[in-house]
Amino acid sequence: MNPAWTLASKAAAVEAALNTLFCEPEPTPRVRLNESLRYSIVGGGKRLRPVLLLSFAELGGCDMDAAMDFACAIELIHTYSLIHDDLPCMDNSDLRRGRAANHCVFGEAGAVLAGDGLLNGAFELMLSSTSPIAAEYKLAAAAELAAASGRLGMIAGQVIDIENECHRVSPTAADLTQLCRLKTGAIIRGACVAGLKLAGVTDPEKLGAAARYADALGLAFQIRDDMLDVLSSAEAMGKSVGHDAENGKVTFASLLGIDGCRAEVDRLTDEAVAALEVFGGDEFLAGLAEMMARRDH
């Protein structure tokens, strides 16, 4: 199947599963916690991370339905990080996925607690999953995601990012690469590796290949994002663009130039596709890497 259709179909399945979450009545009338969680989760996004988790789980022989709680969990983690990132004391962003940021609608305290609720909720979902997967595999997959989102993964990236802003540091390409591997890359890597672990895969060669695919895809994704901030229209991106240059922000685009970025994205995409060889290749995952390299939003 055309990888774009497969992506759309898997993302729609994730969307449907996410839609069943947090539907209980609120504990008291004034409380709007579930409403707030649903506001941020159901508000769109590419669902790239859950689709990666599902696809690597399938590659390891695990049924997509059985992996769905874990796929949703990774989207909850991603969404919590966006809510906290947008807070006034962090990036102070009012817009997210084309809508008002969570803190603009539910207040700052509400947004702190909504983020906490989603991060905690991700683990609730994984740990109480009734999916027919061995406890050992569930534990290994959840541990992988916990490490990816934790203080040596995504949170380290967020801290470094905040510190760079505070001290007006001008990062080199190597600094940006390290930041990207932590802030956005760790979760993408976690999604791919946890997918395999959920399927009971323990072969270090396969786990390493999933990590290499994820690292190349994640870095290419970020470089493409920086290119699009220069090239793209606000309409296509669904958010304001040209921000980076206006703010004098150092990005891959400002460091490597557009042609340099394009060459790097191509190189990384080849690397991602090559990493799939140990699985005998995978049409969808290879196509996904190529789609992400050429995307215009």
Decide if residue 37 touches a copy of itself (CB under 8 A). Answer: yes
- The tokens describing 111, both together, are 């947004």
Q: 75 or 282: whose CB is closer to a copy of itself?
A: 75
Decide if residue 278 touches a copy of itself (CB under 8 A). Answer: no
Q: 88 or 257: whose CB is closer to a copy of itself?
A: 88
User: Which one of 60-68, 129-137, 259-267, 284-292 is the stretch in contact with a copy of itself (CB under 8 A)?
Assistant: 129-137
Please report how close the Cβ of residue 80 comes to a copy of itself at its closest, in angstroms.
Answer: 8
Helix, strand, coil percent values for the chain (each to nearest 5): 70, 0, 25
Tokens 């603009």 found at:
104
Alpha-carbon distance of 45 to 166, in angstroms, equals 29
Alpha-carbon distance of 182 to 77, in angstroms, equals 14
Query: One symbol per residue from 78 to 117: x for binding a copy of itself (CB under 8 A), - otherwise; what is it?
Result: --x---x--xxxx----------------xxxx-xx-xxx
Q: Cα-flanking dihedrals φ and ψ of residue 99, to 5°?
A: -130, 170
Contact residues for 270 (Cβ-Cβ < 8 A; gap 6+): none
Query: One symbol per residue from 158 to 197: x for binding a copy of itself (CB under 8 A), - otherwise; what is it?
Result: xxx-xx---x-x------------x---------------
Count of Cβ atoms closer than 10 Å to residue 250 Cβ = 18
Closest by CA to 40, choosing from 123, 112, 90, is 112
Q: 136 or 277: whose CB is closer to a copy of itself?
A: 136
Count of Cβ atoms closer than 10 Å to residue 156 Cβ = 17
Q: Which residues would be at the binding site for a copy of itself (CB under 8 A)?
A: 22, 24, 27-28, 30-31, 33-34, 37, 80, 84, 87-90, 107-110, 112-113, 115-117, 119-121, 123-124, 127-128, 134-136, 138-139, 142-143, 146-147, 149-152, 155-156, 158-160, 162-163, 167, 169, 182
